[in-house]
Structure 1
Amino acid sequence: MLTIAHIAELATGRAREVGTEIIRDAAVVVDGEKIVANGKTSQLLKRFPKRKGDKEIDATGKIVIPGFVDCHTHLVFAGSRAEEYRDKIRGVSYAALHKKGRGIHSTVAATRRASEEELFASAKKTLDEMLRLGTTTVEIKSGYGLTLGDELKILSVIRRLKKTAKQDIVATFLGAHTVPREYKGKRGAYVDLVVDTMLPRVAKEGLAEYVDVFCDPLGFTAKETGKIFARARALGLPVRVHGEQTAHGGGAAAGAKFHAASVDHCDHLRDGDIALMKRSGTTAVILPGVLLHTMEWQNTALPAVVKKLRAARVPIALATDYNPGSSPLLSMKLVMDLGMRFFRMEGGECLAGATGHPAVALGLGKRVGSIEAGKQADLLVIDAPSVAEYLYRIGESPIALVVKKGAVVIKN
């Protein structure tokens, strides 16, 4: 048994709207991979007296929060887009780069050339860094292959990562990320390839828990998205959607129709979309790192959208959207910092957005995302005197310990 005692402040994650339950001078008791109890140190030390072989961690002067859940990443890819970023600094838009065959297309070309071993080594290194930064559960999408063989290659890498990485990993098939260049003028044929060939193979081999589509003027139409989602659901695969990012494209409505777990990006959500998401129980996933990296924070409607989502009580998750083009960001702490500053979200909302809400969006809400009896012991011990002080400081992530499934996996 493991007891973490004398915690200055424990943020359990149980209350997930504008605040979070805070217990002062707290303790957490862990048995194996599961949390047994949390509460006041004085009470728990009496309930669970130390036995031979038990371990105790003194967290005096430190806080404890749930491990971060990053519910939107594209971390299996090859190549770099660092040179491309110089053009962005000079004012070339993401859409303009995409239309010139750069952007996603350049990463697709590099990923197709890479071997499975090369992709695995790179992705494993990324996951190790994310763990150091406190991310204990990660969603990973395919989408940089765009052929049957290359999409299967990426999904095979994700399957290997599930077996070797310390994090829990959720795989998402994103064969409909963009129309590959070789299908220019033949987009219907590519949609048919996804629907008739890729999806059945992915489902048969059990390579993904979810299916995603980039429903956007730069990607796929709402009608095409609906066709892909109908096939996915017929094969028993739930869906999520990149929706309303560069313009309103009907992705949120298409997702809600098929009870999507989440609509991600949400920059151009309309009032009707929010109502549909509320009815379908769909989580809004906001990706502030994209605004930072693409330098679009002054031109976005997202602050107003987030305000409306909050008013409608649609759950809001935050994620890194780690990818080489629009968000080369690994830190969920920085994502929370941006959520507070770009959207005026409360600190407790951001903490819920980085833990409990994304866990629900990944179908893992009963297992991870909060510090409660019966849940998996995924938690962070942080060298900060209070939760408010930790959230107030920009970019700092003074993590002392990362605990995953009851074991200390990172010690700083």
Structure 2
Amino acid sequence: MDYNMMLTAKAASTDIYFLNVEEKFYQNCQHITIQESPNLVEAGRLPRSKDVILTGDLCDACKPGGEIEVTGVFTNNYGSSLNSKQGFPVFAAVIVAKYIRTKDQIESDALTDEDIKIIRELSKDPEIAKKIFASIVPTIYGHQDVKQAIVLAHIQKQWNNKFVDPVKDEHLADFVIKNHIKMHPNVTKESNELNNGSIDVFQENCPTTNVKLIPQQLLRKYLIYARENVHQSLKVDVQNELNQFIRIADRIKKAMIRMAEAHAKMHLRGYVIEEDVKAAIRIMLECFIQTQKASIMRQMRKVFARQLTFKKDSSELLLYYLKQLVRDQLLYEQSRKNNSDVDGLDTVTISEDDLKAKARQLNMENLAPFYRSRFFTGNNFTYDPKQKKITQRLF
């Protein structure tokens, strides 16, 4: 209810306040507590905090853990709880907010016209989604589904980590995690020396990734622009696609809608298309199937094979199968020569039919794109279409 109460003629003469029922109006009200950012507080001092009153459209303008700038009126407020606790009238200092600006809005306002032009040009890349997913924590191998979920949650504003402290995280990594690694019985001395040397073997244009990564600063600006400036709506045919999919609960449908909207935002589209919905279904299924037992996992992957293989790059998995076939061939050559030394081999040749048998498990028939990819050529593989043989040069 509004803080300024209406004063009637009778109240003016008797100095007694009455609520004017006919002219009263209600509005949303919210109490929040803000405090100093832990990164800006001096060592040994607790962060200072202050209560803020939000009214009207300012309610739910911020989330717990977010960084904000508050503009308002610094005033006092009579608190009955403080009065009863102290035994005499006590007025608490509060801020009546007039305007709130979140950190994302501050960073979005900081984008220049040149940045926006670069972001729009980057969004026209047909492989922009693959590049964004590959640029998230590129030093950690694998976990593609986790990285995709992190990107979608970040764009849709559904993920907020309120315990981030760069200084503390660095100290934990150096003095806690590394010490636990050293004391682990399965870690060798050579591994500890390698960890202490802080050797970075990551390359931005690694031949096994086949994706050019986006610079981290540009990626940060791209995600901020997509989150703050792109708003989309669902089409009728897209809603039918969601209704046809098997639903366990309504909240799963709502989650898929949010993921589809985030996938559309990532492409800077103002509407959700069928591709966004199928990508959201694939990510949701992958995360759900990985929580099941091995037998149920295999069965579910067969049932949902069509959804799981939508726009999924299987080159990396084919490369894994190919290396496994090469390893088996080397073991066969070693056993055929009565365990003699096979280090003299320069090349290993396998049949294409063996790889095709593995590819059928991924519902792949055409292997020509894989033979032309850097996954194949970057690992010293060559393909002979006449003899249908695959050869790897070992040295």
TM-score (norm: length of structure 2): 0.24
Return the structure number with greater relative CO, CA threshold 8 A, min gap 6.
1
- Looking at secondary structure, tell me which structure has more helix per residue: 2
Structure with greater strand share of residues: 1
TM-score (norm 1): 0.23
